[in-house]
């Protein structure tokens, strides 16, 4: 006679498999990108407070920002699974390997969107919730669906989503969007192309194979180098606009000038290499890519520290 299995007879999910599943869902959110976004959120909160903001408010904003960015990156992973499969750099992502189904990934992204929006609205404030929701829409729809596969300027306008943490950080403290936040929004806007184009120069063949019209795919190294130099100069100039607008003291000024000068020097080095006929790895585009992360970290660290020390310029 057949027996009915009891709960003790039912196989359980091995701990290793559970950890693997969790790791795959975390990978969907692209945590390394989230780290960079949060670097631009907290310092703006210090500037908005002109001191140390409430620790709980900082933690709450970071939680909401992590959930929000995770939602946007998850939707991006779902939509881009076809081109990710064609690029060596992204071929091991969970949506490509089939570790997570499309249905589950979309549901996961939707849940993160709802939770992050409610979290901001109930724990931080409504304006921050609306800005967070706008950031998700801008990245998941504006960049991923409408721009990425259609124009070589995709990262320029699609990068607006990555600028939103500056507004969210400011609004979390003040409940408004002030001019200093707008200036820092523009710093990230002008920083994004010279940050991302060197990466896409290094992986040009990947993007070409996938049919993604990144600028280095559509244009030669010299043309891309010129645009990188132009955006770098505008970015540094914009960072100095914060000095009278905030206002900022010597700590920020010295940091912005020195780190900005090095950024511009690296951008010109890349352009010189391109004009000299260098291509591919000989251009060393990843030097500027890696320094661009250091640059934004230094500048925003100065944004946080300057109000605490504040040595006025006069």
E strands, the chain, in order: none
3-class DSSP assignment, residue 41? coil
Which residues touch 122 (CB under 8 Å, ≥6 apart)? none
What averages of pLDDT result for each successive group of 10 residues across the chain (314 residues)?
A: 40 69 92 85 97 96 96 96 92 93 97 98 98 97 95 94 96 97 98 96 92 95 97 98 96 98 98 90 92 97 95 81
pLDDT at 213: 95
Helices and strands (H and E) in the chain: how many = 16, 0
Q: What pLDDT is recorded for position 8?
A: 41
Tokens of 224: 């891309």
pLDDT for residue 310: 85
Cα–Cα distance measured from residue 71 to residue 75, given in angstroms and rounded to the nearest whole number: 6
Cβ contact 206:88 at 8 Å = yes
Conformational region of residue 6, where left means phi above 0, alpha means psi within -120 to 50, and beta covers everything else: beta
pLDDT of residue 89: 86
């Amino acid at each position: 006679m057949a027996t009915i299995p009891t709960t003790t007879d039912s196989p359980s999910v091995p701990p290793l498999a559970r950890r693997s599943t969790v790791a795959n869902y975390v990978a969907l959110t692209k945590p390394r990108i989230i780290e960079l976004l949060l670097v631009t959120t907290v310092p703006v909160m210090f500037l908005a407070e002109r001191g140390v903001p409430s620790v709980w408010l900082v933690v709450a904003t970071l939680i909401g920002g992590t959930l929000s960015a995770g939602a946007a990156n998850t939707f991006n992973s779902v939509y881009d699974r076809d081109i990710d499969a064609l690029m060596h750099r992204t071929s091991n992502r969970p949506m490509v390997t089939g570790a997570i189904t499309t249905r589950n990934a979309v549901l996961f992204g939707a849940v993160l969107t709802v939770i992050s929006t409610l979290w901001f609205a109930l724990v931080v404030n409504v304006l921050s919730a609306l800005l967070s929701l706008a950031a998700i829409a801008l990245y998941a729809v504006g960049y991923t669906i409408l721009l990425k596969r259609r124009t070589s300027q995709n990262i320029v306008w699609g990068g607006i989503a990555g600028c939103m943490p500056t507004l969210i950080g400011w609004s979390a403290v003040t409940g408004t969007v002030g001019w200093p936040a707008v200036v820092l929004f523009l710093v990230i806007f002008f920083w994004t192309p010279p940050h991302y184009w060197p990466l896409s120069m290094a992986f040009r063949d990947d993007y070409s194979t996938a049919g993604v019209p990144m600028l280095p795919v559509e244009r030669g190294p010299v043309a891309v180098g010129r645009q990188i130099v132009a955006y770098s100069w505008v970015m540094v100039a914009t960072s100095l606009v914060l000095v009278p607008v905030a206002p900022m003291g010597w700590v920020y000024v010295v940091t912005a000038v020195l780190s900005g000068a090095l950024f511009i020097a690296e951008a010109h080095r890349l352009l010189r290499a391109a004009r000299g006929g260098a291509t591919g790895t000989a251009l060393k585009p990843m030097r500027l890519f890696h320094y661009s992360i250091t640059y934004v970290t230094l500048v925003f660290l100065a944004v946080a520290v300057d109000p605490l020390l504040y040595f006025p310029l006069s």
